[in-house]
Amino acid sequence: MVEWLAAGSAPVFNVCCALIVLEMAALAFATPLLRVKRNVWLNEEDAQRFSGTVADVEHRDVARVIRAHRNQLENFVPFFALGLLWIAGGTSSRVGDGLFVAFTLARIAHLVFYLARMGRLRTASHTVSFIVLLILAGGVAWRSIVGI
């Protein structure tokens, strides 16, 4: 398994995965900080700790960060799964590299546009990463079926 990293698109894939994880970590870090600022809490023990308000729905600004985070997660999961199977299946590493980089750039753009409240560009960047996932899914399935 050690030689796997050296072969094919693995280094590019690894760096892309690390970048997206760091992006999600930044969101996970920002969420409680913003909650402290807005001081609206879903957990009673937190509201008590910070002398804030208890609510059943997150403050609108916090909810936006959580939605951005959820969107990253629900896109990263298929990306990681299919990217790994793409590499493991020995599918073209040059195409793979291009797809991995395009996905990662689109995901970083998506976060920026989401937080900057730019709806059209957010949709555009989501479309790019969505198309990459469809190509990866098609490639992995095709390769496996032909490979049988």
Nearer to a copy of itself, 46 or 98 (CB): 46
Q: Which of 34, 105, 118, 124 binds a copy of itself (CB under 8 A)?
A: 118
Secondary structure of residue 118 in the 3-state scheme: coil
Tell me if 86 sits within 8 A of 95, measured CB to CB: no
Secondary structure of residue 40 in the 3-state scheme: strand
Q: Which of 19, 34, 108, 128 binds a copy of itself (CB under 8 A)?
A: 19
Q: Name the β-bridge partners of 54.
A: 41
Distance in angstroms (rounded) separating the CA atoms of residues 8 and 6: 7
What token pair was written down for 135?
């190509």
Nearer to a copy of itself, 94 or 117 (CB): 117
The reply on whether position 43 binds a copy of itself by CB under 8 A is yes
- Give the N- to C-terminal CA distance of the chain in Å, as an integer: 23
Element (H, E) at 26: helix 10-38
The reply on whether position 94 binds a copy of itself by CB under 8 A is no
Q: Which residues bind a copy of itself (CB under 8 A)?
A: 1-7, 10-12, 14-15, 17-19, 21-22, 24-25, 28-29, 32, 42-46, 48-49, 56-57, 60, 63-64, 67, 69, 73-74, 76-78, 80-82, 84-85, 87-90, 117-120, 123, 130, 133-134, 137-138, 140-141, 143-145, 147-148
